[in-house]
Structure 1
């Protein structure tokens, strides 16, 4: 795929986030390095990692190896919420491992077990953004009310909330709540949470001469929801990247949305 034509969504601060990204959870060591290199080779320009994945070094090495310009890439990492009070040193360790001066997006990985920690963590992410260590900041696995707490305390909306998402988990109201707040919805585990043998998916896939997995990924993109499939298989990495040659009709989108209520 030609990465210049890839659809993006605009985050605050004029930051463009590619709608298709590459997830790296459980892709560690040499397998992780190889997977990221294969993804960059397949045309992905958005790579998603996290402190707890233990693979930032491999991601960084693959990025250096790819010879792509840093400004052509979008890199996300995430802060484990138990690092409250040590946010800055955690980000600095991530930047060292990734071998970069900044990340494009830094997220609180999940809501802290002590709810009182959420706002102090969020203020540290905002401080990192002010210092250009992160171009945009957001959250992951947050409910709408948890997002509202951050907005009420700081008047700063998370740019992104990364949650489990797929047509089978589609929640129209939750989607609208993100839109209303100007928070970009980013879906993870899109394929793990889908029944890829569902007859409707098979029918729509056949109509476009693509696979059911490609339909699931395209559904996110047509909704302007960021999606980050993960795989360590080169063929699958390639196929998951190949979702820009077709788009779904309004009728197909409605049918797929309805899977969330079935």
Structure 2
């Protein structure tokens, strides 16, 4: 039997004081205030934060200085094709930055996926109206219902979206068309068969690895599931909503 290897880790705070609030921009991230942050992503030594209840996306530079790159604190839906710092967001839940320096975020309560490029915000998927529809059409005309996570593939230029309330995993192709990969209605079934016929229950986060397998948290089913070659399987957990 191989020897047991243990590693020692320590925990430290890198952003926030522990006090609820929205202040601190242009100063040390350790002195700043956040309000129910739900997502964090690191790229090239910079940290991107979905500061959910502040309705902002914030960034911590390599030198530890925090700034707001999207949102105004005021909850709402506005700002497309203008400066992201003047846009209104509603409970952003996820953020991601890719090698081309574009930053994406899920504006969850507005039911859209947005992109910030050179400081300007635009919509990538969704219309701002809650619902389900639009497969086979441009993603900007599709309807989403409380998207909660996204994965942006820099190699294929495809975008994967977990739609919590529609119980689906959807994809935006490199040409901007929307499709559904997994899920139909709320429930738990389908393992070993086509993912498009499976039932999910509030999927939230997802990840695509190099061989194009997609993993996602089927949150209210208490499992991790995998999409590979169009087939869905469970890789962790026993499933069910109880």
Instruction: Name the TM-score, length of structure 2 as normaliser.
Output: 0.31
Structure (1/2) with the larger strand percentage: 2
Q: Which of the pair has more CA radius of gyration? A: 2
TM-score by length of 1: 0.29
Q: Which has the higher contact order (CA 8 A, sep 6+)?
A: 1
